[in-house]
């Protein structure tokens, strides 16, 4: 797998700037690049909520493994336009423009947490653009998941019944996140926030703040989507899929990942024993990216 016609027009890898791609007259998708500009192209999908900034966690390992990471803001996050009526099935509508803008015909795909459904969606609906998939701590369909934590049930309930209240909650969380230590954000994804390196903690904080810098609709839409049928047949997926999941993940219990491994013929589950949601991402990045060398 290799990039086709690596872009000559600009190089913003690892910068705080974003490449902004018009999708139509009303919408745009923003993405950042990390790693090597001439490397193997891999799309990275952030969690829910999240932004392109989380891709910085992959930067060093991407450089070492010769990978070019394309990390978009999904619609309604960061600098990407809101698209409140989108569904999980619409993933190709915002991933394909990124690949086209980056002059990439085929790419790998890595997804974290809430990005997982959209990774499975594009390989179910437009598999010719994706060579392989790695899903880290990925969200699973409501029909196969164990009962989620109480806070997630609350967020889903607000997203489906009183979205304006949820937008206000996110506005308040962002105000606090901007002013408090990174542990305010990091603690939402791990029980051992003191074990997260300072640089990684800062990236997680920046990711959260950027997610809500302009809109709150992206997270509202995606929390609503998590409670509804994804509209895809995972049993028809024939692209290689690797799940990386921690046995101690309380944000997304591992039972759902085990179910998806059984349903998808080309899937493989790699279990990280004794590891939780965020720690699974931090620990698996080097091994995941090595698979794209």
Handedness of CA 262, 264, 266, 271 (dihedral sign): negative
Give the residue among 19, 213, 12, 208 at the shortest CA–CA distance from 113.
Answer: 208
In this predicted structure, what is the pLDDT of residue 144?
A: 74
- Is the pLDDT at 149 greater than 60? The verdict is yes
Is there a contact between 119 and 261 (Cβ–Cβ < 8 Å)? no
Q: Which fold has domain 19-290?
A: Rossmann fold (3.40.50)
pLDDT tier, 77 (very low <50, low <70, confident <90, very high otherwise): very high
In this predicted structure, what is the pLDDT of residue 251?
A: 93
Q: What is the mean pLDDT of the chain?
A: 93
- Is the pLDDT at 9 greater than 50? The verdict is no
Judged by average pLDDT, the poorest of 58-72, 102-116, 149-163 is 149-163
- Is the pLDDT at 11 greater than 70? The verdict is no
- Is the pLDDT at 145 greater than 80? The verdict is no
Is residue 258 packed enough to be buried (19+ CB in 10 Å), middle (13-18) or exposed (0-12)?
middle
pTM (global) more than 0.85: yes
pLDDT in tens, 174-200: 999 999 999 999 999 999 888 999 999
Is residue 214 packed enough to be buried (19+ CB in 10 Å), middle (13-18) or exposed (0-12)?
middle
Distance from C-alpha of 229 to C-alpha of 99, rounded to nearest angstrom: 27
Buried b (16+ CB within 10 A) or exposed e, 104-142: beebbbbbbbbbbbbbbbbbbbeeebbbbbbbbbbbbbe
Domain chopping of the chain, boundaries: 19-290
Is there a contact between 196 and 282 (Cβ–Cβ < 8 Å)? yes
In this predicted structure, what is the pLDDT of residue 185?
A: 97
- Is the pLDDT at 219 greater than 90? The verdict is yes
Percent of the chain scoring above 70 in pLDDT: 94
- Is the pLDDT at 37 greater than 90? The verdict is yes
Percent of the chain scoring above 90 in pLDDT: 85
pLDDT tier, 10 (very low <50, low <70, confident <90, very high otherwise): very low
DSSP structure class, residue 24: S
Is there a contact between 164 and 217 (Cβ–Cβ < 8 Å)? no
In this predicted structure, what is the pLDDT of residue 4?
A: 44
- Please give the angle made by the CA atoms of 181, 192 and 45, to the nearest 5 degrees: 75
DSSP H or E stretch at residue 152: helix 150-161
Distance from C-alpha of 3 to C-alpha of 210, rounded to nearest angstrom: 28
In this predicted structure, what is the pLDDT of residue 3?
A: 42
Distance from C-alpha of 148 to C-alpha of 75, rounded to nearest angstrom: 24
In this predicted structure, what is the pLDDT of residue 6?
A: 45
In this predicted structure, what is the pLDDT of residue 148?
A: 74
Is there a contact between 237 and 266 (Cβ–Cβ < 8 Å)? yes
pLDDT tier, 57 (very low <50, low <70, confident <90, very high otherwise): very high
pLDDT in tens, 238-267: 999 999 999 999 999 999 999 999 999 999
In this predicted structure, what is the pLDDT of residue 8?
A: 40
Is there a contact between 69 and 104 (Cβ–Cβ < 8 Å)? no
Distance from C-alpha of 41 to C-alpha of 7, rounded to nearest angstrom: 12
Average pLDDT of span 32-41: 98
ω before 111 within 30° of 0 (cis)?
A: no
């Amino acid at each position: 797998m290799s990039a086709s016609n690596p872009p000559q027009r600009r190089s913003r890898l690892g910068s705080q700037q974003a490449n902004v791609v018009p999708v139509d007259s009303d919408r745009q998708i923003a993405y950042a690049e990390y790693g090597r500009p001439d490397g193997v192209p891999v799309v990275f999908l952030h969690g829910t909520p999240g932004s392109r900034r989380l891709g910085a966690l992959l930067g060093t390992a991407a450089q070492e493994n010769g990978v070019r990471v394309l990390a978009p803001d999904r619609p309604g996050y960061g600098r990407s336009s809101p698209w409140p009526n989108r569904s999980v099935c619409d993933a190709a509508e915002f991933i394909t423009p990124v690949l086209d803008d980056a002059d990439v015909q085929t790419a790998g795909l890595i997804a974290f947490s809430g990005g997982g459904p959209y990774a499975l969606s594009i390989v179910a609906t437009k598999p010719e653009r994706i060579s392989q998939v790695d899903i880290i701590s990925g969200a699973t369909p409501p029909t196969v998941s164990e009962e989620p934590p109480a806070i997630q049930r609350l967020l889903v309930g607000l997203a489906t019944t009183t979205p304006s209240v949820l937008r206000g909650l996110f506005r308040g969380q962002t105000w606090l996140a901007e002013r408090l230590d990174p542990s305010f954000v990091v603690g939402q994804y791990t029980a051992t926030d003191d074990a997260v390196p300072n640089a990684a903690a800062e990236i997680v904080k920046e990711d959260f703040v950027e997610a809500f810098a302009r809109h709150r609709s992206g997270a509202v839409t995606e929390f609503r989507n998590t409670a509804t049928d994804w509209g895809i047949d995972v049993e028809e997926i024939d692209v290689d899929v690797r799940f990386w999941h921690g046995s101690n993940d309380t944000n997304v219990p591992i039972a759902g990942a085990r179910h998806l491994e059984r349903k998808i013929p080309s899937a493989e589950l790699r279990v990280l024993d004794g590891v939780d949601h965020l720690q699974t991402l931090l620990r698996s990045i080097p091994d995941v990216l090595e698979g794209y060398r």
